[in-house]
Every structure is written in C-alpha cells, then in structure tokens.
Amino acid sequence: MTHHDTRKNWRTRAADTAARKEAAAPLFAKGKEVLAKDTVALLEAVIRAGDVINIEGNNQKQADFLADCLNQVDKSKIHDLHMVQSAVPLKSHLDLFENGIAKKLDFAFGGPQAARVAEFIENGKIQLGAIHTYLELFGRYFLDLTPRVSLVCAYKADRKGNLYTGFNTEDTPVIVEATKFKDGIVIAQVNEIVDELPRVDIPGDWVDAVIESPRPFFIEPLFTRDPANITDNQILLAMMCLKGIYGEYGVTSMNHGIGFLTSAIELILPTYGAELGLKGKVCTHMIINPHPTMIPAIEEGWVEAIHCFGGELGMEDYVASRPDVFFIGPDGTLRSNRAFAQTAGHYAADMFIGGTLQIDKYGNSSTATAGRVAGFGGAPNMGCDPKGRRHPSGAWLKCGAELPSLDTLTGSVPRGKRLVVQGVETFGEGRKPVFVDELDAWKLAKNANLDIPPVMIYGDDLTHIVTEEGIAYLTRCKDMETRMAAIRAVAGFTEIGLSAKPEETKALREAGIVKTPSDLGIDPARATRDLLAAKNMRDLVTWSGGLYNPPARFRNW
C-alpha cells in the first residue's frame, strides 16, 4: 500500500467563506439583520469574481431587490459571475450581463427576457451553460452547479435568520440547502423583519443575512387566465380532451400546463365533464399551482388533493379555506414547494397536458424559436415518460399496452407509459403554423452554439396531439411512418397537414389512431362558452364565495 501523505487542505471553501463573512461583519445591525442601505456593500463583501451565484428568480416570486443591488456592485472587483437560477424573467437579471458583472448562465426559464437572452448569447454577452428543466437544475445544485452565494426571498424573517416563505415557498428550500451545506452564503430579502414568525419554513441556521427590502418582492400571477378570453375553438379542444383522453384512459392524476386550453378543460369539468359521468373518475389528484379556473371544479367536489409548485396571487384566502384539498401549514397558509411538486409531477402523475409553439413532423415540440431562448420550466420533466417509474395505475397501464412497438425496446416485458398530451390549434399566435417541417430550435442551436437543439418534448414521449381536427393517438402507431401520418392527419391547413393523404387518414380513423370530433361523438355546435362553469373573473369570485381576490388588472368591476 502506498504510504499516504496528506498534502491537501480540505477546508478551503469554509476558510474562504469565513473570510468573506468576516469582511461583512461590520454591516450587521442586529443578529442576522443587514439594513437595506448596506446591501450593495454586503454583496461586495461576500461575492468574488467568478463565483457561482443564484438569484431566486423562479417563475413567480423574485428576489428583485437583491438583483437590483447586485447590478450596483463595483464591477472592477465583481465580474464573470456564473449565474445558476431557475428563471431570468426580470430586466435586472439580464442587466447583470449587460453590465459585465455576470458572464455565464445556467437556467430553466426565460419568460419575458427570452428575446434578450437570445440576443446576448448571439453577441457573446452571455455564455450559455444549458437550458434545463427545473428539477434537473435543482439536481445539479447538489453535484456540479452548487451556488457559492444565493440571494433568496421570503415574506418574513426574524433576526435569527428563520424565514417564513409561506404561500410562495417555491424554490427557496432547495436553493438554501444546496448553498448553505456546501459552505456557501445565503442572503434573504424579506418584506418584513418580525420578532415572531407565523411558522418557520427555513431554519435560521441555514441563513447568513436577512434584509428588509424597501418594497415587497415582485410576484407575477403567471397562471391566471380570464375565462372571458376563452374561445369556442378552445372549448371544442377541451371537450375532445375530456372525452377522448381523460375519460378514455380514466386519468386521475395529472398536471395542467399554463394556457387557455387547460383553463377551458378546468371550467367544463362541472358541466360537460359531469354530463360524461367523469366526476370522481378523472382529475382527482393534481399537481398544479392554485389556478383560479380550478375553483368551480374544486367547489363541486371533483378534486381530492392538489400540491402546488408555487402560489398564485389572489388565491391566498381561497386556498387557506380549503385545507382538505391543498397542503396547508399549522399556521393556516399553503406551503408550496417546486422541488417536491416537480418530483410528484414527474413520478406520481399519470398525465401532462400543455401547449407549444411548434410541433415537427415527427412529433418533437419546442417553444424555442430562432430569436427567443424561452426555456422550458417544468414541461420536459412532466412531459416525458418517467423511465424510473414502477407503480402501475389504470391510465399508465392502458397507455403502455397500446404501444405496438414496445417489443423493439424491452422484448416481451410489458411496461406502462405516461400520457403526454399537446393541445394546440393548428395555427397559433399570429396565425403561424404550429406544425412545421423542422423546429426553429435547430436555428436557435446554431445561433447559440448549442450541442443539440433545445427540444421541449421529444416525439417518443408525446402520446397524443389534440387539434381542432381531432386527436392523434400516437402511442397506437406501430412505427415512425404511421406516427408521421397521424400527425399530418390532425395538422389542418398547415403545410404538414396539407400533405396528408385522404385514404391514409381514413385508414387511421378506422384503426382508432385518429379520431375527429364526430368519431368521438362530439357535436362541434355544442362547443360554446355556454359550457363554461365560469365565464369571467367575477364568476370565479362568486364561485369562491368571495375568497378569491383577483389582481387589479384582471378586474373590470
């Protein structure tokens, strides 16, 4: 055996952290409190050039004050930061790159800054690490992308550093744990510093500094859709989804993506869904944010349990009043948690249904376009077949049993499959065709120098496409040729759709691989707004018994 000689200092990170905190020591007012006016000085004391930094910026609540302050540091000292964070929806997130403070970005969701992200990548202001799905990025926090300093946000803190994140707990626990337990530094902006918290969401041991922000953190009602804007066409799609998928497979657990189609589905559960006899048979367990459009179905007793990634502005009181359904703390407030909701969305839910900007002829889809790096958030994680899943359910088994090509993958061994549904109108925003020969993601990959195009949902994970033409049951296709024909058959008047051969489509309909509204026994004339359990925001408030409190911009009364 080689004689061992300990040459290495194994506490370099801890020693460096101690030195940084020592430099910041004069800035602490009382306990762990730092005054807002000293925030820039605090950041300059604890951050070094080249650090891996996380700014809590998920898709809803934002550590916006800390992001602003980071833009004000002395960039001759602090530069080349590597930002690792769920989302970059704020102008200040991108300003860091404009200002030469940050250089590299690993993220999951771009939101309103998508075009600027693309521009910065092209002109070299951003070195793109990768676009992730949230849970994947969280996983990397514990392996190769551990933050050195994290800037998070909470509603309240005490001076021991305990945090109350409450309704919008979201990403905070996973960020703080990964940072603090690798000798990193955690700084929290809070709306209020108090003596007694309603409950502790993050133990004070895990937090280095708390700052009462001059203004409450920014929060976006990202999942609120006004029923007044739902179209008849969306209602037709929603009817097809309910009858041809939810009912057909008996899907009890699911995630609904963001958008008007899923809002329409939620709002026809108590009407068309009830008529189909689906109550208690579908949508009983959900992983979703507190969508206001879920209120009527919840009130009518459709749903047993909902776990939330985050909160939704205006839904605080309603959710608190429905503790049998939501995950509520001893203080009476929701605890959301993006890491665990994504875990449940990946492994426990039988279906993901959402929309997209483009679907290619093979069934691959993406929201990335040439000039916009939007990212995917949670869609890839929930919109894929979770290969590690082992527990059976009716919907999962039925979908798996439909796969004629499973023998090419696992021989004679059976397996279920998660339902992954894309509901789209064949022409989307700006009358652009959704069905395309090649995804714009290819151009983006070229522009941004990516190894592979950023696909949101891969064709082999996608099980159903729903358009105004009908449903393509992709799992029932025996090979790629058949799958491509089924996609063409529902692609309407797009170029892809126009290449469909009538005799081929007829055969697919006879085989039950493609079903039109009439094949499903749905009368398109019934697809009107009359089917919506709530037709506008005021109806939702009424359904909630006055508990839902919509943000001002959604009110017109």
Sites for its own copies among residues 491-520 (CB under 8 A): none
Rounded to the nearest whole angstrom, what is the least distance from the CB of residue 225 to its own copies in the complex?
Answer: 17
- Which CB sits closer to its own copies, 65 or 396? 396
- Which CB sits closer to its own copies, 233 or 405? 405
The verdict on 337 binding its own copies (CB under 8 A) reads yes
Rounded to the nearest whole angstrom, what is the least distance from the CB of residue 198 to its own copies in the complex?
Answer: 9
- Which CB sits closer to its own copies, 4 or 30? 4
The verdict on 521 binding its own copies (CB under 8 A) reads no
Residues 240-299, interacting with its own copies (CB under 8 A):
252-253, 270, 285, 287, 296, 299
The verdict on 411 binding its own copies (CB under 8 A) reads yes
The verdict on 414 binding its own copies (CB under 8 A) reads yes
- Residue 131 parent element (H or E): strand 127-131
Give the residue, chosen from 47, 73, 210, 341, that forms a contact with its own copies under the rule CB under 8 A: 341
- Region binding its own copies by CB under 8 A among candidate stretches 61-69, 229-237, 241-249, 320-328: 320-328
- Give the chain's end-to-end CA distance (angstroms, integer): 81
Rounded to the nearest whole angstrom, what is the least distance from the CB of residue 78 to its own copies in the complex?
Answer: 23
Rounded to the nearest whole angstrom, what is the least distance from the CB of residue 387 to its own copies in the complex?
Answer: 4
Determine the Cα–Cα distance for residues 114 and 368; give it in Å rounded to an integer: 9
The verdict on 143 binding its own copies (CB under 8 A) reads yes
- Which CB sits closer to its own copies, 68 or 226? 226
- Which CB sits closer to its own copies, 73 or 379? 379
The verdict on 12 binding its own copies (CB under 8 A) reads yes
The verdict on 233 binding its own copies (CB under 8 A) reads no
The verdict on 391 binding its own copies (CB under 8 A) reads yes
The two tokens of residue 342 are 């994504």
- Region binding its own copies by CB under 8 A among candidate stretches 43-51, 55-63, 381-389, 491-499: 381-389
Determine the Cα–Cα distance for residues 204 and 487; give it in Å rounded to an integer: 54
- Which CB sits closer to its own copies, 243 or 346? 346
Say if residues 363 and 434 touch (Cβ distance below 8 Å). Answer: no
Say if residues 513 and 473 touch (Cβ distance below 8 Å). Answer: yes
Say if residues 460 and 477 touch (Cβ distance below 8 Å). Answer: no
Q: Which amino acid is at 136?
A: E
Residues 36-55, interacting with its own copies (CB under 8 A):
none
Determine the Cα–Cα distance for residues 280 and 397; give it in Å rounded to an integer: 19
The verdict on 136 binding its own copies (CB under 8 A) reads yes
CA dist list (Å): 287 to 306, 344, 350? 6, 7, 11
Q: What is the CA radius of gyration of the chain?
A: 25
- Sequence-distant (6+) residues with CB within 8 A of 179 are 54, 141, 146, 147, 148, 149, 150, 185, 186
Three-class secondary structure of residue 212 per DSSP: strand
- Residue 515 parent element (H or E): strand 514-515
Q: Which amino acid is at 79?
A: H
CA dist list (Å): 163 to 173, 183, 220, 384, 496? 10, 19, 21, 34, 53
The verdict on 323 binding its own copies (CB under 8 A) reads yes
The verdict on 23 binding its own copies (CB under 8 A) reads no
- Which CB sits closer to its own copies, 221 or 380? 380
The verdict on 20 binding its own copies (CB under 8 A) reads no
The verdict on 72 binding its own copies (CB under 8 A) reads no
- Region binding its own copies by CB under 8 A among candidate stretches 47-55, 78-86, 257-265, 459-467: 459-467
- Residue 29 parent element (H or E): strand 28-30
Give the residue, chosen from 127, 191, 233, 343, that forms a contact with its own copies under the rule CB under 8 A: 343
* Buried b or exposed e, range 416-443, using 16+ CB within 10 angstroms: bbbbbbbbbbbbeeeeebbbbeebbbbe
The verdict on 99 binding its own copies (CB under 8 A) reads no
Query: Binding string, 147-176, against its own copies, x = CB under 8 A?
Result: ---------------x-----------x--
Rounded to the nearest whole angstrom, what is the least distance from the CB of residue 425 to its own copies in the complex?
Answer: 23
Three-class secondary structure of residue 52 per DSSP: strand
Residues 344-373, interacting with its own copies (CB under 8 A):
344-349, 360-364
Residue 33, beta-bridge partner list: 30, 210
Q: Which amino acid is at 410?
A: T
Residues 185-214, interacting with its own copies (CB under 8 A):
199-201, 203-206
Question: Any idea which residue has 């697919």 for tokens?
Answer: 508
Give the residue, chosen from 301, 512, 523, 528, that forms a contact with its own copies under the rule CB under 8 A: 301
CA dist list (Å): 89 to 239, 364, 398, 408? 34, 26, 39, 43
The verdict on 229 binding its own copies (CB under 8 A) reads no
